[in-house]
Amino acid sequence: MDTSVLEKLIVDEETMERKKSSPESVKDTEYGTVKYEDELVSSWKFWKKRRYVVGVLAFFGFFTSYILRVNLSVAIVAMTAEIEKIDENGQPYFEREFDWDSKTQGLVLSSFFYGYISTQLLGGWLGARIGGKRVFGIGIATTAFFTIITPPLVRISVSILIVLRIIEGVCEGVTYPCIHAIWAQWAPPLERSKLATLAFSGSFLGTVFAMPVSGLMAEYLGWPSVFYVFGAAGLVWFFFWWVIVKDKPEDDPWISEAELEYIKSSLGNRKDEKIRHPWKAMLKSPPVWAIVAAHFSENWGFYTMLTQLPTFMNDVLDFKLDKTGYLSALPYLAMTLVVQSSGHLADYLRAKNIMTTTQVRKVFNCGAFVFQTIFMTCTAFILTPAGVVICITIAVGLGGFAWSGFGVNHLDIAPKHASVLMGIGNTFATLPGVVSPILTGFIVQNKSPGEWRIVFIIAGAVYLLGAVIYGLYASGEKQSWAEEGHKTDEESKKSYDNPAMEVDNL
């Protein structure tokens, strides 16, 4: 055999062996040809892939933020409960540790949202400017600190408690927007859905956990334990988050070369420069307002169910939901599971080119809204407790598919501006938490089934309107104003005022 032919066969054989054992390969995607990690690294070994380590810690971050948020709604029951005491003559009497009327309790519980709505846009802007890791971590850590000092301060004055809750709302208001600043650096385009929904699902599981556990702790350990334990858990999480997570993959000392190359090649070459947001273009973009409308619609139904279900069942069905307490956690458990599975399904459909990104976002989002409209409306017409709980659980659970639509869509249309877009959307999406209970109060005057039917039909109509707007105007494509070479409004104005700048830049 010719020596050159033999050498060629040896080289080809060595190349094949290298390809088999190499952790790198290439893959053609809708975002171009990128290097990717070999599937030899099992997906369940998340610690082998640093982006999933970030995702898991973000999951626990949202989990922590929600147990810090909902703890007071359970603890306040114990704080205002009548406690039996014995007087000097040995006679029993009842006394409340905090003698707050219903209006005061309502003010205390709602004060969080006044702070929460104020920092949505700021959180997105800060995340893009100084890094999502810092803003996300410090926001939750500060909330945890104020949670720990709540018990001694609330005994001084209820006004102090209200101020504390407003400050906690301000700190937690940055969390949702700034997380997209992290994914803009860490999430490959074809993994955005599952990484983002992995993090978001921590919120719903945190609600499932906090409701029953807070009740048990308040009953057996006293209501202050709820604040001490949950606050301490938040600080422990912050320690691991701060030490392990980095803003960018290239700053992570433990990341493999294969994973780093995969992330960088899939996201494309990015200039490490100060981000300037094209505000006018963003605010005039139909896909942006489609996301805002969908987020508002989902939260309207979510907050209506969250705040009004117990009252509805008490008024119409004469059914005390607190007697079967764990039923109240079922909708959030369903949503946790659906959010996880929908994210994986969305990325599978995109990776296999079964559907485009735009199609996935619209089908998941609009499909969820249509079915939520149906089950929300059915809630008003079904007069059995079991039927109502089933309808609400399905309606809330299906919302998990919507989060794989609008909840990730910011990263599709404008990756480097995604945190700011989430801030804009979540500002509007917080309004239903304030408006929906007020509107319900005006409608439900006599606590009749007919009045409640109007409340649920309105919620269903908002879902349907959100589906129509999102279906017409949403997009999964990167927008022209989000491209690297696009000028911001300020730069365009300077160029217009001084045409010589254009010549100098050529």
Q: Which residue carries 């029993």 as its tokens?
A: 92
Neighbours of 226 (CB within 10 A): 27
Residue 26's H or E segment, with its range, is: strand 24-29
Q: How far apart are CA 67 and CA 59, in angstroms?
A: 13
> What DSSP character marks residue 488?
P
φ, ψ for residue 486 (rounded to 5)? Answer: -75, 135
CB–CB of 349/355 below 8 Å? yes
Comparing CA positions, the residue from 137, 138, 135 lying closest to residue 127 is: 135
> What DSSP character marks residue 94?
E
pLDDT of the residue at 36 = 52
Q: Using N-to-C axis directions, what is the helix angle for 418-443 and 406-413, rounded to 10°?
A: 150
Neighbours of 449 (CB within 10 A): 13
CB contact set of 469 (below 8 Å; sequence gap of 6+): 289, 290, 293, 294
Give long-range contacts, CB 8 A cutoff, 24+ apart: 214-221.
214/67, 214/70, 214/71, 214/74, 214/75, 215/74, 215/77, 215/325, 218/74, 218/75, 218/77, 218/78, 219/78
Q: Which residue carries 């509107």 as its tokens?
A: 439
Q: How far apart are CA 68 and CA 269, in angstroms?
A: 39
pLDDT of the residue at 340 = 86
Q: Which residue carries 């703890």 as its tokens?
A: 71
pLDDT of the residue at 39 = 43
Instruction: Kindly report the pTM of this predicted structure.
Output: 0.78
Q: How far apart are CA 189 and CA 184, in angstroms?
A: 9
pLDDT of the residue at 9 = 44
Which tokens is 129 given?
Answer: 């400017």
Query: How far is the CA of 178 from the CAs of 122, 218, 421, 448, 479, in angstroms?
Result: 9, 33, 10, 43, 20
Q: What is the dihedral of CA 493, 494, 496, 499, to 10 degrees?
A: -170
CB–CB of 265/34 below 8 Å? yes
**pLDDT, mean of each 10-residue run, the chain (506 residues):** 47 43 48 48 66 95 92 81 71 76 77 88 89 93 96 92 93 91 91 90 88 83 92 97 93 90 81 77 95 95 72 67 59 88 92 93 96 89 80 88 93 91 92 81 81 89 96 94 65 46 37
Q: Which residue carries 């006599």 as its tokens?
A: 446
